[in-house]
Amino acid sequence: MPINAVLDRIDADLDAALDRLFELLRIPSISTDPAYSESCQQAADWLVSDLAGLGVSAEARPTQGHPMVLGTVGEGSPHLLFYGHYDVQPADPLNLWDRDPFDPAIEETPNGKVLRGRGSSDDKGQLMTFVEACRAWKAVNGSWPCRITFLFEGEEESGSPSLVPFLEANKDELSQPDLALICDTALFNRDTPAITTMLRGLLGEEVTVTGPTRDLHSGYYGGAAINPIRVLSRIISSLHDDTGRITVPGFYDGVPEIPDEMRAQWDALGFDDKSFLGEVGLSQPAGEAGRSVLEQVWSRPTCEVNGIIGGYTGDGFKTVLPSKASAKISFRLVGTQDPHAIRESFRSMVTTMVPPDCKIDFKGHGNSHASVMSTTNPAFETARQALSDEWTNPAAFIGSGGSIPIAGHFKEILGMDSMLIGFGLDDDQIHSPNEKYDLRSFHKGTRSWARVLDALTGSRAAS
Ligand code: BES
Ligand code: ZN
């Protein structure tokens, strides 16, 4: 059956596909906040029942945290594993949303229609592109293009704590697929599809400095009592030098320079630094001196403070000298940087900076190595061609500054290569208020998967 019939079916079914996606978007599956555990279970159950409608007997498998949705269907090679995540980031700050984050809607914008709502781009909208492509394929052909395993995670946005134990416990079942397809990344730009070949790793550390046994009046005690916010600020400001390099001892061990060939390929992409920064109200790259913006986000490691808590932050003013202050700090890692070694080095460096009478506590929040996909697998070229057939410009191989821990775990634990194809855009506001996914991303993303499935299963020549 020609691929065109599947593409036509996708076009005709678009409204119904949007209704299905909106049902999923209405479930506030915020994985990091225990108050939303039931919603995570509900999102997993929703996916199980949607897959059941396609004839896939998937299950929501329990873990220590939120369930993994897992199901396999179809026959024939290659055996593909499709991964997406159904959990989302917290929606705060709520007052910056123009609508309820969990009451999605289609909105008209100068760039066309968008689907507005938490998780629309990261990752429910993306995950459903693959499911919808399969639905159309099945409706037209009455069968599956090949053997397909669906694996949907519910903890990706909170560091995937249950992932490694789950992959290890289900190694036999999960190591059968030939290739993982991960839909959680972006297009290069509006008209240029992309296969992401590099992801940064991530290490999260929460640091709490405790001084006095209770909050104090800053008049009574100020001057004599140590202030944990000042101690924390000194720690934070010591993490970078004046050129933007990170000062943690040994931090740059395992950070490679990108090969000349890749540099040339990236240069040829014509990335526009000005509009990338300009779109968020900035004009000056603020990373390591002497590095291009693309290098700064795709191939260099970073240390960022993601949040600071301490003292009085409500309305008005309160003269308090706080007992505690804490910061959430994350490191993006590249090459073979070792998250465990960096965690240790960071902790010992910071511990030496703590003055008498203060105590420091650390809490780790996940760690993952960077991953580099091996593009020698011929599936990459096949998929690149299939994507190029759908979009205005040919597909590019790109890097990404984000982290998707499972890509590394698939390789290390299951020995499986991953191919990252996604349809997000830089302006999707993922993790921020007013997250959106372009309707075009959802629609052409679904069509793209149909083409990729067609090409990978060798049906391409027949169409
Ligand atoms: N989808 C993103 C990763 C991403 C972001 C890929 C931008 C491409 C472009 C993913 O869901 C994500 O946000 N991951 C977290 C991982 C973390 C919480 C362990 C991240 O990168 O911060
Ligand atoms: Zn994501």
Q: Does the pLDDT at position 462 exceed 50?
A: no
Residue-wise pLDDT for 375-414, tens only, equals: 889 999 999 999 999 999 999 999 999 999 899 999 999 9
Distance 196 CA to ligand 2 centre (A): 13
**Distance in Å, CA 121 to ligand 1 centroid:** 11
Q: Which ligand is nearest to the CA of 158?
A: 1
CB of 202 closer than 6 angstroms to any ligand 1 atom = yes
Question: Which SS3 state, helix, strand or coil, does residue 198 take?
Answer: strand
- Domain check: are 159 and 222 in the same one? no
pLDDT at 459: 64
396 pocket-lining for ligand 1 (C-beta < 6 Å): no
CATH of the domain at 70: 3.40.630.10
Whole-number pLDDT of residue 1: 56
Please name which of 32, 41, 39 lies closest in space to residue 92, comparing C-alpha atoms: 32
Residues 58, 146, single domain; the answer is yes
pLDDT digits (tens, 9 = 90+) for 27-65: 999 999 999 999 999 999 999 999 999 999 999 999 999
Q: How far is the CA of 305 from the centre of ligand 2 (A)?
A: 20
User: Does 460 have pLDDT greater than 60?
Assistant: no
Banded pLDDT at 461 (limits 50, 70, 90):
very low
Q: What is the pTM of this model?
A: 0.91
Q: Are residues 244 and 126 in the same domain?
A: no
pLDDT at 458: 87
CA atoms of 161 and 82, how far apart (whole Å): 20
Q: What residue numbers bound the domain in which 337 lies?
A: 201-255+301-368
- Between CA 53 and CA 426 the distance in angstroms is 33
Residue 139, helix vs strand vs coil? helix
Determine if ligand 1 sits within 6 Å of the CB of residue 445.
no
Q: Where are the alpha helices (DSSP H) in 75-181?
A: 124-141, 163-169, 171-174
Whose C-alpha lies nearest to ligand 1, atom 7? 402
Confidence of residue 439 (pLDDT cuts 50, 70, 90): very high
Query: Do 187 and 64 belong together in one domain?
Result: yes
386 in Cβ contact with 229 (< 8 Å)? no
Please give the share of the chain, as a percent, with pLDDT higher than 70: 99
**CB distance 402 to ligand 1 below 6 Å:** yes
Nearest CA to ligand 1 atom 4: 402
DSSP letter, residue 123: T
Reported as a single tens digit per residue, the pLDDT across 130-157 is 999 999 999 999 999 999 999 999 999 9
Average pLDDT over the chain reads 96
CA–centroid distance, 89 to ligand 1, in Å, is 10
**pLDDT attached to residue 463:** 37
Q: How many structural domains is the chain composed of?
A: 2
Helix (H) or strand (E) holding 396, with range, is strand 396-400
- Looking at 368, 383, 399, which one is the last position of a domain? 368
Structure tokens at 52: 């059941």
Candidates 123, 306, 403, 420: which one to mutate for ligand 1, based on the most atoms within 8 Å of Cβ? 403
Distance from Cα 431 to the centre of ligand 1, integer Å: 9
pLDDT tens digits for range 309-359: 999 999 999 999 999 999 999 999 999 999 999 999 999 999 999 999 999
Q: What percent of the chain has pLDDT over 90?
A: 94
